[in-house]
Amino acid sequence: MRAPLALRAAIISLLLFVGLIVVWHIGTKQTGPTLKMDPEYAKLMGSTVTQGKSAMPGPGDVGAKIWQHLQDPFYDRGTNDKGIGIQLVYSIARVLTGYLLALAAALPIGFLIGMSPLMARALDPFIQILKPISPLAWMPLALYTIKDSSISAIFVIFICSVWPMLLNTAFGVATVRREWLNVAKTLEMRPVRTALRVILPAAAPTILTGMRISIGIAWLVIVAAEMLVGGTGIGYFVWNEWNNLSITNVMVAILCIGLVGMLLDQLMARLQRVVAYAD
Amino acid sequence: MSTAFISAQRLSRRFPQASGAGELTVFEDVCFSVAEGEFACLVGHSGCGKSTILNILAGLDQPTAGHVIAAGKHIEGPSLDRAVIFQGHALMPWLSALGNVELAVSSRHPSWARRRVREHAMKFLALVHLDGSAMKKPAQLSGGMKQRVGIARALAIEPRMLLMDEPFCALDALTRGALQDEIVAIHKATKPTAFMITHDIDEALLLADKILLMTNGPRAWIAEVIENTLPANRTRIELHKHPNYYPLRNHLMDFLVARSRELAAHPEMRCKDLHPAVVRPAVATSTSQAAAAVAPQQPGQASNGQIASGHICAV
């Protein structure tokens, strides 16, 4: 009897994970030549020279660091010493603020573009030019006009997540089946009712696809944005730990960024299933 | 004789051609009328603009020229008085069967409470024998059941006019028969004025009091109005046993196979006063063969039942 597909896949995943850890461990454990030196000098030189240890932390180091962070993820001991949990909360809050603002803008404008071929044509050149601009290119302009680094980061999230939602909303609205609109017309539904009861549910799967793409992009961009604006957030944490030369912390942060990104994506996937319909 | 409830006067519809060169006149000077409570079927080949005529009646399309008067008013747009049963059921797939009917009911009666809307919708689902599948989504229903929901949705708003665009063409023969029986029963019970497009001659003979025959396009027109001479209590099973069945069927067949094309090639055959001839095919009673034509209608006047020989008014 063969085990179910999910189980077999899980076994392979686990084997790959173990293999990765083993390779990582072997790659970082090798001891190089050690030098005898003055203990004071040895302190300055670090363990690479004195104990022949690799400069790259091994899985054990990272594991221990994760454990240490898990003990107290939300501590706050001043500007440059905050728990990784707090930093993640800052980043998630920024992403959600910018993202929800973008959603609030993208839905009505997307409806407008989707329902009016005139507005679709009129707005098209703006969208085509603004869409390919790297969100970080807006940063100086945002800092100069807004004069607040945290709000500037939110603006950058807004500008990067608005496009997929806008275009998908417009596409979803424009491609609502004629027959459903005809039903709404023969039922003498008012425009607002048609928009809410027919067009929105019909376009919802397409809109949600845009929202899922957007949240992914927003989470990618926040790290870079926070490296620039500094102060708080997981992006700043990564850069700060790089300045501290704590590669272990950088690795822990990378893992956290991946996990949170996955959670956000899964959340959107769940929402997608809620609004999906079989036709 | 009752006065016309729907009256189409010199309807024409032209579409701009895809090549950009000029316009295509799909139909021209189409005139017909349907009395209150009457069941009319429009029969013709694909491309003659049948669906466009139905869309004009529904208020979803506007004629290029001419106009339609329904219940004493110009048709200017869609109305809850004219329910449409669409060809492809057109159910909202994200709503359950009940939800689809409820959407229509709450559009008709915005002031009704949820419970009342639900009860009303359930009543009409029960009418089409779908009260057991009320919570199912359209994707979980068979083609026939979906179309039943479409019928329930149309009937639930209690329209004065029922417009049907080949509602059963995508269904298998057995399902189609069952649904036809239901339409017969529903029409008998509620007597809405009905206008249906169909390809199916037997369907037209079973359902319609009056069959409008349309020539081929472009520039199609309604060449004849056939009065159904079968008894009013006809059933699908007994239909073909009536002596008038074959004269009627042959006449319709002959029109669809040959005359619809011939007439399209000879626009001069068009009636001078634009009103189609009324024909009552029946077993021969005089020297004229199976078909006997009534004199062309005068504008705004229904058939007077006077028998004259000949097929079409222009002969």
pLDDT of A104-129, one tens digit each? 999 999 999 999 999 999 999 999 99
Burial pattern A226-248, b for ≥16 Cβ within 10 A else e, equals bbbbeebbbbbbbbbbeeeeeeb
CB B33 within 8 Å of CB B303: no
The ipTM, to two decimals, is 0.82
pTM, entire model: 0.83
A32-88 residue pLDDT tens: 666 677 777 777 766 666 666 677 888 988 999 999 988 888 888 887 788 899 999
Mutant choice from B92, B146, B147 vs A, greatest count of A C-beta within 10 A: B92
Q: Between these two residues, B2 and B36, which has the higher pLDDT value?
A: B36
Strand (E) or helix (H) holding B13: strand B4-16
What is the three-class DSSP state of B164? strand
Residue B301 has pLDDT above 90, yes or no: no
Find the residue in A nearest to B92 (Cα). Answer: A180
Chain A nearest-CA distance from B93, in A, is: 6
| Confidence (pLDDT) at B265 | 79
For B192-252, the DSSP string reads -EEEEEES-HHHHHHH-SEEEEE--SSSB-EEEEEE--S-TT--TTTGGGSTTHHHHHHHH
* Chain-chain contact of A279 with B93 (C-beta, under 8 angstroms): yes
DSSP state of B63: -
Residues of B in contact with A278 (CB under 8 A): 93, 137, 139
| Alpha-helix runs per DSSP H in A56-148 | 59-71, 84-115, 117-130, 139-146
Residue B145 — very low, low, confident or very high, per pLDDT cuts 50/70/90? very high
Domain coordinates of chain A in residue numbers? Answer: 84-275
Cross-chain CB nearest to B92 (options A186, A198, A275):
A198
Quick check: B139 contacting A, CB < 8 Å? Answer: yes
A148-174 residue pLDDT tens: 988 999 999 999 999 999 999 999 999
* Chain-chain contact of B94 with A201 (C-beta, under 8 angstroms): yes
Mutant choice from A176, A177, A187, A190 vs B, greatest count of B C-beta within 10 A: A187
Residue B298 has pLDDT above 60, yes or no: no
Task: Give which of B256, B254, B260, B264 is closest to B290, Cα–Cα.
Answer: B254
* Chain-chain contact of A275 with B94 (C-beta, under 8 angstroms): yes
What is the three-class DSSP state of A117? helix
| Confidence (pLDDT) at B50 | 87
A174-209 residue pLDDT tens: 999 999 999 999 999 999 999 999 999 999 999 999
Residue A98 — very low, low, confident or very high, per pLDDT cuts 50/70/90? very high
* Chain-chain contact of B58 with A186 (C-beta, under 8 angstroms): yes
Cross-chain CB nearest to B83 (options A177, A179, A186):
A186
Q: Between these two residues, B296 and A25, which has the higher pLDDT value?
A: A25
* Chain-chain contact of A189 with B107 (C-beta, under 8 angstroms): yes
Quick check: A196 contacting B, CB < 8 Å? Answer: no
Q: Counting one residue from A and one from B, how many pairs have CB atoms under 8 Å apart? A: 59
Residues of B in contact with A193 (CB under 8 A): 107
Quick check: A182 contacting B, CB < 8 Å? Answer: yes
* Chain-chain contact of A278 with B60 (C-beta, under 8 angstroms): no
Quick check: B92 contacting A, CB < 8 Å? Answer: yes
Residue B1 — very low, low, confident or very high, per pLDDT cuts 50/70/90? very low
| Domains of chain B, first to last | 4-81+159-308 (3.40.50.300), 92-158 (no CATH)
For A84-275, CATH gives: 1.10.3720.10
* Chain-chain contact of B137 with A277 (C-beta, under 8 angstroms): yes
* Chain-chain contact of A182 with B90 (C-beta, under 8 angstroms): yes
Find the residue in A nearest to B86 (Cα). Answer: A179
| Confidence (pLDDT) at A32 | 63
Compute how many other C-beta atoms are within 10 angstroms of the C-beta atom of residue B47. Answer: 12
Find the residue in A nearest to B157 (Cα). Answer: A187
Cross-chain CB nearest to A186 (options B84, B94, B139):
B84
| Angstrom distance (rounded) from CA B304 to CA B297 | 8
Tokens of A210: 């845009």
Q: Which residues pair with B24 in a beta bridge?
A: B15
Residues of B in contact with A185 (CB under 8 A): 59-60, 77-78
What is the three-class DSSP state of A270? helix
* Chain-chain contact of B108 with A187 (C-beta, under 8 angstroms): yes
Residue A89 has pLDDT above 70, yes or no: yes
Cross-chain CB nearest to B80 (options A179, A187, A201):
A187
| Confidence (pLDDT) at B267 | 73
* Chain-chain contact of A185 with B157 (C-beta, under 8 angstroms): no
